[in-house]
Structure 1
Amino acid sequence: MAPRILLCGDVLGRLNLLLKRVSSVNKSAGPFDALLCVGQFFPDSPDQLDEFMSYIEGRSQSQFPLPIYFIGDYGIGAPNVLLKASKDSSNLGFKMDGFRICHNLYWLKGSGKFSLFGLSVVYLSGIKSPNAQQFGTYSQDDVDALRAIAEEPGIIDLFLTYP
């Protein structure tokens, strides 16, 4: 059976709204295997940070009901959350399938390719920067890596990028 993947645009840190919508769609047309988010995932204003962080820190009663993969690694709180995740021992080494932020939430950093329920997913996250040292950016090295992936035999099922 083919995997069932949900796609989403800007979340802007509104995780309560996102999970309510995912639950509704899952009940009416699901079950779905994963959610891919492109656009700005993190809040765009400080007043939304507490709701967002309650999920990240495990304070919320709700949990992510399916694996969520996101690009769009900028916004209020992004540097702190992503820096902490990148230093976590479970995220050390070469990670093409995402850095684990918390249960069922994965950040797709820079560029890469991974298999998701048999689908080939390629991504380029952020805006171009000469050195990609800050969150929310990619470098020429990330683009070159994607060119190398494109030259490999096989099919790419999904390509995620933003903006």
Structure 2
Amino acid sequence: MVSPPRLLLCGDVFGRLSQLFKRVSSVNKSAGPFDVLFCVGQFFPDSPDRLDEFMDYVEGRSQIPLPTYFIGDYGLGAAKVLSAASRNHGNAGFKMDGLKICENLYWLKGSGKFKLHGLSVAYLSGRQSVEGPQFGTYSNDDVDALRALAEEPGVVDILLTYP
């Protein structure tokens, strides 16, 4: 019998990746191992003094301890990091299971549904757009796509949204 996946979930990170991954490592050691971390809420920094710490992870100077998926694609540095990820050849094509930012870090862009460790995960990333398409927002097309995915046969085990 296959054991069910072990998941961690957190809210706003605000770019405090060192604090987040220290806590994740501690929880993983005491109650793990866990298979994945989902982050909802603002993932990117809310102040310039956290940008260097954040970029240490994105640029590989610091390691991310387990696969981490996020939907809060707004805040300081978001446009730069996400634009670079969007141009990466490994992220070419239509991907609902996350664009790879760096080792163990995946951006769930727009809306989608994918399988992860046998679970069906659906998501709507960002905040509602009021000024047209931009990083950190979703459009009516994203909502319509999510509705269409919800009408497909099968169960959605996890729905990630924020706020």
TM-score (normalised: structure 1):
0.96
| Unmatched runs of 5 consecutive residues or more in structure 2 | none
Q: How far apart, in 1, do the equivalents of 2:95 and 2:26 lie?
A: 32
RMSD: 1.1
**Secondary structure, in 3 states, of the residue corresponding to 1:10?**
coil
Report Cα offsets for 1:4-24 as digits up to 9, x if no partner. Answer: 010010111001101110011
**Secondary structure, in 3 states, of the residue corresponding to 1:162?**
coil
Structure 2 residue 25 is matched with structure 1 residue 23: yes
- Please tell me the residue identity of whatever aligns with 2:46: D
Map residues 68-87 of structure 1 onto 2, 5 A cutoff: 68-87=68-87
Q: How far apart, in 2, do the equivalents of 1:123 and 1:41 lie?
A: 15
How many corresponding residue pairs? 161
Report Cα offsets for 1:49-96 as digits up to 9, x if no partner. Answer: 000001101123xx1111000001000100000000000000010010
Map residues 91-110 of structure 1 onto 2, 5 A cutoff: 91-110=91-110
- Please tell me the residue identity of whatever aligns with 2:15: G
- Which residue is equivalent to 2:158? 158
- Which residue is equivalent to 1:6? 8
Report Cα offsets for 1:115-141 as digits up to 9, x if no partner. Answer: 110010000011222675210111111
- Which residue is equivalent to 2:141? 141
Report Cα offsets for 1:32-62 as digits up to 9, x if no partner. Answer: 00000000000000000000001101123xx
| Unmatched runs of 5 consecutive residues or more in structure 1 | none
Partner of residue 35 from structure 2, selected from 33, 36, 40? 33
Indicate conservation of the 8 Å contact 1:111/1:143, yes or no: yes
- Please tell me the residue identity of whatever aligns with 1:46: P
Runs of 4+, deviation exceeding 6 Å: none
**Secondary structure, in 3 states, of the residue corresponding to 2:75?**
coil
